[in-house]
Amino acid sequence: MRYQVKPEAYGEALSEVYDRMYPSMETPQTVDFIVSLLDPGARVVEFGAGTGRIAIPLAGKGFDVHAVEVSQPMLDKLREHDPLGAVTAVRADFAEHVIDGDFDLCYIVCNTLFMLPDPEQQIEALRRAGAHLRPGGTLLVEVYDPTYFHQLAKPEFQVRNLASDQVMIDTISVDPVNQVLAQVHTTIKAGSVSTFTEISRYAWPSELDLMARIAGFEMVERHGDWERSPFVSGSHRHITLYRKSAAGL
């Protein structure tokens, strides 16, 4: 079975609540980690930059930050948070677009690579990442480890508090054959209800490394969190660095 996903749909459905969906997200730790990889003034591009959670603070530290984002409502929020335009944002699908080939780092965080619904598109996005990078440039990918979800026997529920009169109920189910996790976000606000289904095509760490190799990268290091704890059995996600291999694409 092939899953169809309209890339703009996520932002159209969730841009209003996105900044409140992940209150415990480790933004300062993520920014510090990325800064530790960069020389002053480095050129950086984020795939799926959303409302600028990471891109804006990075630009504030003097880096030349570019953002590729497919959703206009998400870009509008990014601009609201960054009225002086410190981040250079372009509206495009990161599986189809290349700005230029001179970036030091491309990063794809918060499971965004998995939003592409099949492995071919994910490999294509990794190729595009390589096309953005100078020789020896770095690709950073943060995604969840699928182990826990892959064996879900029945749907799981999570509830988030978005505001005093607004909650989001997430119903998570898995199609293990196609390695697809479907997350139905049901938002209830003062009696009105909306739903949006987010599709996430997950890959195993070794599979991701293979896809990256196909796209012209070598795996350099993998961590279990932004503090560089080791990635071990039971880690919920990983942060992996790849280097654009000498042979290029």
Ligand X SMILES: C[S@@+](CC[C@H](N)C(=O)[O-])C[C@H]1O[C@@H](n2cnc3c(N)ncnc32)[C@H](O)[C@@H]1O
Pairwise CA distance, residues 165 & 193, whole Å:
12
Name every residue whose Cβ is closer than 8 Å to that of residue 214 and which is 6 or more positions away in sequence.
123, 126
Give the sheet arrangement for strand 156-163, strand by strand.
156-163, 166-175, 180-189, 192-201
180 contacts 200 by C-beta, under 8 angstroms: yes
Pairwise CA distance, residues 101 & 104, whole Å:
9
Residue 216 as a binder of ligand X (CB under 6 A): the answer is no
CB of 41 vs ligand X, minimal distance in Å: 22
Residue 10 as a binder of ligand X (CB under 6 A): the answer is yes
96 secondary structure, DSSP code: T
Residue 94 as a binder of ligand X (CB under 6 A): the answer is yes
From the list 36-44, 45-53, 130-138, 207-215, the region that binds ligand X by CB under 6 A is: 45-53
Footprint on residues 63-82 left by ligand X (CB under 6 A): 68-71, 74
Pairwise CA distance, residues 60 & 13, whole Å:
29
Out of 42, 65, 89, 115, the residue judged to bind ligand X by CB under 6 A: 115
Q: Give the residue with the Cβ less far from ligand X, 71 or 187.
A: 71
From the list 44-52, 58-66, 128-136, 147-155, the region that binds ligand X by CB under 6 A is: 44-52
> Which residues are near ligand X by CB under 6 A?
7, 10-11, 48-50, 53-54, 68-71, 74, 93-95, 109-110, 112, 115-116
